[in-house]
Chains A and B, each alone.
Chain A
Amino acid sequence: MEQEKLFRIPEPEIKLVEIEGFADPKGQALFKRRVMMALLHKNKDRFRVIDAAIDQAKQKGLSYVLCKVSSEAKKFLDYSRQVSSEYHKAVSFIRLKPIDQHQVLMGEFEIRHQTAELIMQHFMRRFPTYAIMIILGEQVYIGKNKEIYQRKIEKRKIALPTVVDKYEKYWLTFYKTQFIPERKNLRYLKQMIPKKYWRWVTELGEFGLI
């Protein structure tokens, strides 16, 4: 990939400033984390939702918002939770294909919120000696040496490695061994992993579920 065609991820539009007047430092740190997550939500009304939460925190206290007493606080925390959940699902279900001659680990996923940077950071922390390349929707992200680059792609031009990987076969063999038929419980499975993510958990196909 040509370096000049890549560009750095822009700085976030909003920088959080210290929120004055809140006595509880632990609560303040938690509130900031929630705001950071809500800022990455896909909905355009996120700024209005965050503003409403901050106003309520100023008037009624941080606990009032963090404990989800009002419907505004609930919406704000739901936004934050949805972003966290997407990040968590992505780092769980992205499968990496090693391209050893280039020390690259490559994967693919679909995201709805702006979680790309968080996902990249997770894998860069985990595999610091590799370049991480992840296709997220119509963007490809490349992370190496603590820097993340992003570029729009045409999916059909990207050739994912097609070599039959023996470890993928080993994984499927191992996965099948872990099922206890006497405990089969598809309702529980759907509860643990919503159906929208099943396409990424390809091994479910081993049991004819996808």
Chain B
Amino acid sequence: MNTEEKLELLGTAAKYDICASTAMPKPRKAKDRNYIGSNAPGGICHSYTPDGRCVSLLKVLMTNACTNNCQYCINRCSNDTKRAGFTPEELAHLFIELYRRNYVEGLFLSSAVRKNAAHTTEQMLKTLQILRFQYHYTGYIHLKALPHTPAHMIELGADLADRMSVNLESPTPDRLKKIAAEKDFMLDLIQPIAAIQKQVQKGKLQSGQTTQFVVGAAGETDAELLRTTSWLYKKKELKRVYFSAFVPLAIPTGRQAPQLPSHPATVPLLREHRLYQADWLMRFYEFEVNELVLQNDQNLRLDVDPKMSFALKNREGFPVEVNTASFKMLLKIPGVGPLSARRIWRARKEHRFTDINELKNMGVVVKRAKPFLLVNGKKQGNISEIMTAKQLELFEDQTSQLAYMQAPKLLT
């Protein structure tokens, strides 16, 4: 098989890994001027596919030959598909040539498990060593740690890569058993995550650690996903958690495992979107997981975004005076993002807001925010302007449709 054929096969196999970020806070230091590569603090996207997703990394597998039989995965050993693998030299050379042409911003290296995790990881580390020491490459590398990777290999990976990740796939051990019977949730997944966390704490892996869930493959609820996500951020110091809606069509009809959803409509992309919104509320809007509003089936509402759901459920806490509200409270107002909240908070040290257009200039989405704020004591709008009475009823009837994970904390 030639390089192009391998690239086609191993690129296709890697496309469901979501992470495309290339942000690095500080550049990797080079010993002399004989290096290649640099980074942008905010990352760079070099292209986009017609699904709007950014293509910034050469995202490939080292090999798609696998000993595991994970039901959701196209590379599972029981699936009748072509198998191939790069050699470390071949992959390193291919990457450098694409990087030199400014097609990609970095390398994302993952793999199926050939023979065992140690053997495959060794090949991946060899590729990284060629890049770092032979080509003197100082740009971005994201290395995927395989389940059951030995700790010393994680340590070496942390020296060579800028970000590492382990795909959890499911939020709980029981859910994981349904789709990947061979994997042990704690031993194979949480343990490597803890090992990577130690490396991050030592100051390595400046772009941190991430993980990914397959949404909808194991029948998990949003509540389970968000609780595990919150735990990962707080206890394991993850930089980011990604959600990927399960796409059944990736595996040809007839070869699909019977326990998995068979039609894409069963896992709407909107569910993935709502999970990301909830994730952002926890990361940037100072929301606690128990403040997120869920339906009785323990999923987020699809028709109203999580922040608006929170505001409608807590209408007694609104409207808030923009000139005096705490920063945390500003973040709770729909239409006010972290940037505009920071701007309001900074500007009002030297200025008193009297006109809602001033907030508009600062990036506030006034149409959404109006019902929930007061400007200099004046009310700006009613909730009925943005929600129909029928939609509001759902939030008023506290016993039927909606339930909190726990009792909500009172806003102060």
Which residues of A in the span 169-184 have a Cβ within 8 Å of any Cβ on B?
A: 169-171, 173-184
User: Any chain A CB within 8 A of the CB of B346?
Assistant: yes
User: Any chain B CB within 8 A of the CB of A67?
Assistant: yes
User: Any chain A CB within 8 A of the CB of B26?
Assistant: no
Which residues of A in the span 17-54 have a Cβ within 8 Å of any Cβ on B?
A: none
Question: Which A residues are in CB contact (< 8 Å) with B16?
Answer: 180
How near does chain A come to B344, taking the closest CB pair, in angstroms? 7
Pair A203/B346 contact, Cβ less than 8 Å: no
Question: Which B residues are in CB contact (< 8 Å) with A182?
Answer: 247, 249, 264
User: Any chain B CB within 8 A of the CB of A105?
Assistant: yes
Our count of residue pairs bridging A and B at CB distance below 8 angstroms stands at 163
Which residues of B in the span 28-54 have a Cβ within 8 Å of any Cβ on A?
A: 33-38, 40, 44-54
Pair A93/B46 contact, Cβ less than 8 Å: yes
A178's partner among B4, B11, B350 (CB-CB below 8 A) is B11
A174's partner among B11, B38, B102, B346 (CB-CB below 8 A) is B11
Which residues of A in the span 64-104 have a Cβ within 8 Å of any Cβ on B?
A: 64, 66-71, 73-74, 88, 91-98
Give the docked Cα–Cα distance between A168 and B98 (Å). Answer: 8
Pair A60/B351 contact, Cβ less than 8 Å: yes
**Known contacts A63-B349, A63-B350, A126-B38; A184/B51 CB under 8 A:** yes
How near does chain A come to B404, taking the closest CB pair, in angstroms? 32
Chain B CB within 10 A, most for which of A170, A174, A186, A189: A174
Pair A127/B36 contact, Cβ less than 8 Å: yes
Which residues of A in the span 118-173 have a Cβ within 8 Å of any Cβ on B?
A: 122-123, 125-129, 165, 167-171, 173
Question: Which A residues are in CB contact (< 8 Å) with B103?
Answer: 95, 167, 171
Question: Which B residues are in CB contact (< 8 Å) with A204?
Answer: 47-48, 50
Pair A167/B46 contact, Cβ less than 8 Å: no
Pair B51/A179 contact, Cβ less than 8 Å: yes
B15's partner among A73, A91, A107, A180 (CB-CB below 8 A) is A180
Q: Mark A174-202, 1 if CB is under 8 A from B, else 0.
A: 11111111111111110111000000010
B35's partner among A94, A122, A128 (CB-CB below 8 A) is A128
Pair B98/A180 contact, Cβ less than 8 Å: no
Pair B100/A98 contact, Cβ less than 8 Å: yes
Question: Which B residues are in CB contact (< 8 Å) with A168?
Answer: 101
A192's partner among B4, B48, B97, B101 (CB-CB below 8 A) is B48
Which residues of B in the span 180-197 have a Cβ within 8 Å of any Cβ on A?
A: none
Pair A69/B351 contact, Cβ less than 8 Å: yes
Question: Which B residues are in CB contact (< 8 Å) with A94?
Answer: 102
Pair A96/B362 contact, Cβ less than 8 Å: no
Give the docked Cα–Cα distance between A203 and B103 (Å). Answer: 10
Give the docked Cα–Cα distance between A106 and B122 (Å). Answer: 36
Residue of B nearest to A123 (CB): B102
Question: Which A residues are in CB contact (< 8 Å) with B363?
Answer: 68
B102's partner among A70, A88, A95, A207 (CB-CB below 8 A) is A95
How near does chain A come to B99, taking the closest CB pair, in angstroms? 9
Question: Which A residues are in CB contact (< 8 Å) with B38?
Answer: 122, 125-126
Give the docked Cα–Cα distance between A98 and B344 (Å). Answer: 48
Give the docked Cα–Cα distance between A96 and B46 (Å). Answer: 12
Question: Which A residues are in CB contact (< 8 Å) with B7?
Answer: 170, 173-174, 177
Chain A binding surface, main DSSP class: helix
How near does chain A come to B336, taking the closest CB pair, in angstroms? 13
Give the docked Cα–Cα distance between A128 and B37 (Å). Answer: 9
Q: Mark B60-86, 1 if CB is under 8 A from A, else 0.
A: 100000000000000000000000000
**Known contacts A68-B343, A177-B12; A96/B102 CB under 8 A:** yes
Pair B347/A179 contact, Cβ less than 8 Å: no
Q: How many residues of B contact A (CB 8 A)?
A: 53
User: Any chain A CB within 8 A of the CB of B358?
Assistant: yes
User: Any chain A CB within 8 A of the CB of B403?
Assistant: no
Pair A68/B362 contact, Cβ less than 8 Å: yes
How near does chain B come to A177, taking the closest CB pair, in angstroms? 4
Give the docked Cα–Cα distance between A93 and B59 (Å). Answer: 18
**Known contacts A69-B351, A167-B98, A174-B58; A126/B51 CB under 8 A:** no
Which residues of B in the span 139-167 have a Cβ within 8 Å of any Cβ on A?
A: 139
User: Any chain B CB within 8 A of the CB of A209?
Assistant: yes
Give the docked Cα–Cα distance between A71 and B38 (Å). Answer: 37
How near does chain A come to B202, taking the closest CB pair, in angstroms? 28
How near does chain A come to B224, taking the closest CB pair, in angstroms? 24
Question: Which B residues are in CB contact (< 8 Å) with A126?
Answer: 36-38, 139
Give the docked Cα–Cα distance between A67 and B7 (Å). Answer: 47
Give the docked Cα–Cα distance between A74 and B46 (Å). Answer: 29
A177's partner among B15, B36, B53, B139 (CB-CB below 8 A) is B15
Pair B100/A127 contact, Cβ less than 8 Å: yes
Chain A CB within 10 A, most for which of B34, B249, B343, B346: B346
How near does chain A come to B20, taking the closest CB pair, in angstroms? 10
Chain A CB within 10 A, most for which of B4, B40, B102: B102
Question: Which A residues are in CB contact (< 8 Å) with B15?
Answer: 177-180
Q: Which 6 A-B pairs have the closest CB atoms?
A: A188-B52, A177-B11, A67-B343, A61-B350, A67-B347, A183-B51
A contact set with B: CB distance below 8 Å: 60-61, 63-64, 66-71, 73-74, 88, 91-98, 105, 107, 122-123, 125-129, 165, 167-171, 173-189, 191-193, 201, 203-204, 207, 209
B contact set with A: CB distance below 8 Å: 3-4, 7-8, 11-12, 15-16, 33-38, 40, 44-55, 58-60, 94, 97-98, 100-103, 139, 247, 249, 264, 269, 343-344, 346-347, 349-351, 358, 361-363
